[in-house]
Amino acid sequence: MSWLSSFMHPERGYAAGQGQLDQYYNQGQGYQQPYNDMGQQAGQGLNTAMGRLLDPAALQNEWSQGYEMSPQAQQTQELAKQQGLSAMSAQGVMGSTPALQAMQAGESQIGLNDRQNYLDNLMQKYQAGVGIGENMYGIGANSAGQMGQRADQMGQNSAQMQYGQQNAPGSLFGNLMGAGVGLAGSALGGPIGGAMGAKLGQMMGASQPGSYNPGGMSAYGGR
């Protein structure tokens, strides 16, 4: 943009400034958007997890349907059975109802412990997943907050740019008219004509949008 074009079209500078604002704003928001998306996805998962944890009985029933006794528990049961039979044989109580009941109770307890370990293990993994989701959600929420602050600041900056762009042609016209009237007043003769011309020029310049003339000061400092 040449100096003459810049002088005759001051609003173009505001438009160029807005273009720079848009470029870096979009670039910054683009960096943050993946984290924002990640946080939103994590938030959906956390809502689902919270709903399931608020109904622990249903969650336990769901997990119990997939339970199968572990090979370790099966081996432990078999070992306990053999040890129980050996003990009953050594004591001469083979076939005794109380002894058989005690042995069966031991086997059942091994199965119950295995099932509880299965559920506890699932819960630990579930909670670990929830913890990861919370971290992701926190990162996303922080990113969204930064994006919101940038958007607010961008709105303020863009409003100032738009205001300046709209008022730039009027301000230029007022300045040019003021200068022209001042020269014309000087040409009319002497300092009186020059002062009158400058005063009239200031009044015309102040009437244009975007101009500001506190106190109506003249070119010579008088009021």
Q: Which has more pLDDT, 199 or 88?
A: 88
Q: Is a pLDDT exceeding 50 seen at residue 221?
A: no
| Neighbour count for residue 36 (Cβ, 10 Å) | 19
CB 186 within 8 A of CB 197: yes
Q: What is the pLDDT of residues 137-150, one digit of tens each?
A: 898 888 888 888 88
DSSP the chain: --HHHHHH-THHHHHHHHHHHHHHHHHHHHHHHHHHHHHHHHHHHHHHHHHHHT-HHHHHHHHHTT----HHHHHHHHHHHHHHHHHHHHHT-TT-HHHHHHHHHHHHHHHHHHHHHHHHHHHHHHHHHHHHHHHHHHHHHHHHHHHHHHHHHHHHHHHHHHHHHHHHHHHHHHHHHHHHHHHHHHHHSHHHHHHHHHHHHHHHHHTSTT---GGG--TTS--
> Would residue 68 be called left, alpha or beta, if left means φ above 0 and alpha means ψ between -120 and 50 degrees?
beta
Confidence at 117, pLDDT banded by 50, 70, 90 = very high
Q: How high is the pLDDT of residue 167?
A: 60
Residues composing the chain: 223
- What average pLDDT does the segment 73-83 reach? 89
Confidence at 72, pLDDT banded by 50, 70, 90 = very high
Q: How high is the pLDDT of residue 12?
A: 64
Q: Where are the domains of the chain?
A: 20-216
Q: Is a pLDDT exceeding 90 seen at residue 122?
A: yes
Q: Encoding tokens for residue 4?
A: 């003459």
pTM of this structure: 0.54
Q: Is a pLDDT exceeding 90 seen at residue 120?
A: yes
d(Cα 59, Cα 133) in Å, to the nearest integer? 19
Q: What is the pLDDT of residues 159-202, one digit of tens each?
A: 776 766 666 554 544 454 454 445 444 455 545 444 545 554 55
CB 219 within 8 A of CB 182: yes
Q: How high is the pLDDT of residue 71?
A: 93
d(Cα 10, Cα 17) in Å, to the nearest integer? 12
Confidence at 70, pLDDT banded by 50, 70, 90 = very high
Q: Is a pLDDT exceeding 60 seen at residue 222?
A: no
Q: How high is the pLDDT of residue 172?
A: 45
CA Rg value for the chain: 43
